């Protein structure tokens, strides 16, 4: 077995352990909440009329079988893992009888599209400007860009969302402020629908980019500022190598490795959803779905969303761990 194969096995073992612990914690926390989803469902079903005790008892038993809540905690735990093994989280309590997996798959493309686009654009633009600012340290324009980045970075992204909502929704109403696409428009893979989706995503993407840009900018500028003073960079400059090649091949390439790690973590975290941003703009993503599930006490849906998030973030970390030795030969596989 090669050293890289052993490295892959160790990292995969860590991935399995993290996912196992994370899902167990999610199961334990949801079962320790004071809300009883079965009783809450029965209360909602019987609030409009009287129901015999026998009918309520039958309803309670049927719901426990349906949601895998029969028996004690260990029986429920075993039933929970059986459902995870086949990707079945049961029906949603708040959207009965729609399966939880269907609700997640409906909302997931919206969140993945929104956050992947905003994350990639922010990462590319922030690293580009940060790299240029770290190398061309006397540029007044790049210094001003640094001031703006540091000024916007501490602002919570929901504050930026509210400001954009007021400016472009009321003061200068040129962009849609709610929803994922125009109302009453039939969904389909056509130009009109795609343009409507793109138009409705402009403000949510901007709210995330404006705040997130500063972190990538400052991180890349700090990395480049340290690499500029390295001997091999000084030698390349003295040897007459073009500054563009020095920046791209000698500096940016080495400085990007820590940023790639951050990008992998950010892409994995998109499955958490931009909860407040989606709420502000009424965007039909994972964040909006999670808030609705919490308010409704829909612990099946909360467990499903949490499980998907845990697996996604852990998989992103595993992927970057496996790629690191291939991207940077200085990383030893041991």
The reported pLDDT for the residue numbered 287 is: 78
Q: pTM for the whole thing? A: 0.72
The reported pLDDT for the residue numbered 1 is: 46
Within 13 A of 174's CA, how many CA atoms are on the CB side?
4
The reported pLDDT for the residue numbered 70 is: 66
- Name every residue whose Cβ is closer than 8 Å to that of residue 51 and which is 6 or more positions away in sequence: 45, 59
Tens place of pLDDT per residue across the chain (334 aa): 467 777 788 888 888 888 888 888 877 777 776 666 666 666 666 665 556 666 667 766 666 666 666 666 777 777 777 777 777 777 777 776 778 888 888 888 888 888 888 888 888 888 888 888 887 877 788 888 878 877 877 777 778 888 888 888 788 887 887 777 777 777 777 777 788 888 888 888 888 888 888 888 888 888 888 887 777 777 777 777 777 787 777 777 777 777 877 777 776 666 555 777 787 788 888 878 887 887 776 777 877 888 888 887 788 778 777 777 766 656 655 5
State both tokens at 97.
């009888």
E-only strand ranges, 158-295: none
Contact 66, 91 (CB under 8 A): yes
- Provide the H-helix boundaries in 50-90: 53-66, 73-85
Q: Can you tell me the distance from the alpha carbon of 225 to that of 248, in angstroms, rounded to the nearest whole number?
A: 14
The reported pLDDT for the residue numbered 329 is: 59
The reported pLDDT for the residue numbered 305 is: 82
Cis check: omega of the bond before 97, within 30 degrees of 0: yes
Contact 116, 264 (CB under 8 A): no
Other CB atoms within 10 A of residue 198 CB: 13
Q: Can you tell me the distance from the alpha carbon of 256 to that of 316, in angstroms, rounded to the nearest whole number?
A: 17
Per-domain residue ranges for the chain? 107-296
Strand partners, 91: 99
Q: Can you tell me the distance from the alpha carbon of 67 to that of 58, in angstroms, rounded to the nearest whole number?
A: 14
Q: Can you tell me the distance from the alpha carbon of 67 to that of 50, in angstroms, rounded to the nearest whole number?
A: 24
Q: Which residues of 152-181 are buried (b: 16+ CB within 10 A; e: fewer)?
A: bbeeebbebbeebbeebbeeeeeebbeebb
The CATH H-level (homologous superfamily) assignment of domain 107-296 is: MetI-like (1.10.3720.10)
Within 13 A of 32's CA, how many CA atoms are on the CB side?
6
Cβ-in-10-Å burial (0-12, 13-18, 19+) of 8 comes to middle
Of 227, 232, 235, the residue nearest 251 (C-alpha): 227
The reported pLDDT for the residue numbered 334 is: 55
Q: Can you tell me the distance from the alpha carbon of 134 to that of 310, in angstroms, rounded to the nearest whole number?
A: 35
Q: What is the CA radius of gyration of the chain?
A: 25
Q: Can you tell me the distance from the alpha carbon of 327 to that of 258, in angstroms, rounded to the nearest whole number?
A: 11
Contact 129, 141 (CB under 8 A): no
The reported pLDDT for the residue numbered 200 is: 83
CA-CA distances (angstroms) from residue 277 to 90, 115, 165, 201, 285? 28, 11, 11, 11, 10
């Amino acid at each position: 077995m090669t050293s890289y194969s052993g490295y892959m096995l160790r990292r995969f073992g860590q991935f399995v352990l993290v996912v196992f612990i994370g899902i167990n914690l999610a199961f334990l926390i949801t079962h320790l909440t004071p809300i009883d989803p079965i009783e809450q469902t029965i209360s909602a079903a019987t609030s409009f009329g009287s129901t015999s005790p026998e009918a309520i008892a039958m309803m309670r038993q049927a719901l426990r079988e349906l949601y895998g809540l029969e028996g004690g905690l260990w029986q429920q735990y075993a039933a929970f893992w059986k459902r995870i093994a086949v990707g079945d989280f049961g029906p949603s309590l708040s959207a009965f009888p729609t399966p939880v997996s269907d609700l997640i798959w409906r909302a997931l493309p919206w969140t993945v599209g929104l956050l992947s686009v905003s994350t990639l654009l922010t990462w590319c633009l922030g690293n580009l400007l940060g790299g240029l600012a770290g190398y061309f340290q006397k540029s007044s324009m790049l210094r001003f860009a640094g001031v703006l980045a540091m000024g916007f970075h501490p602002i919570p992204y929901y504050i930026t969302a509210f400001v954009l909502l007021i400016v472009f929704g009321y003061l200068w109403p040129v962009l849609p402020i709610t929803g994922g696409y125009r109302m009453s428009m039939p969904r389909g893979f056509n130009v009109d629908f795609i343009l409507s989706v793109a138009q409705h995503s402009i403000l949510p993407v901007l709210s995330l980019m404006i705040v997130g840009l500063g972190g990538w900018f400052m991180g890349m500028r700090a990395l480049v500022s340290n690499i500029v003073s390295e001997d091999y960079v000084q030698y390349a400059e003295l040897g007459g190598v073009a500054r563009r090649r020095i920046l791209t091949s000698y500096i940016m390439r080495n400085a990007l490795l820590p940023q790639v790690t951050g990008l992998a973590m950010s892409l994995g975290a998109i499955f958490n959803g931009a909860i407040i941003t989606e709420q502000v703009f009424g965007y039909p993503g994972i964040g909006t779905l999670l808030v609705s599930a919490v308010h409704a006490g829909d612990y099946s849906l909360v467990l499903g969303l949490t499980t998907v998030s845990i697996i996604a973030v852990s998989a992103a970390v595993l992927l970057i761990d496996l790629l690191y030795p291939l991207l940077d030969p200085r990383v030893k596989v041991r």
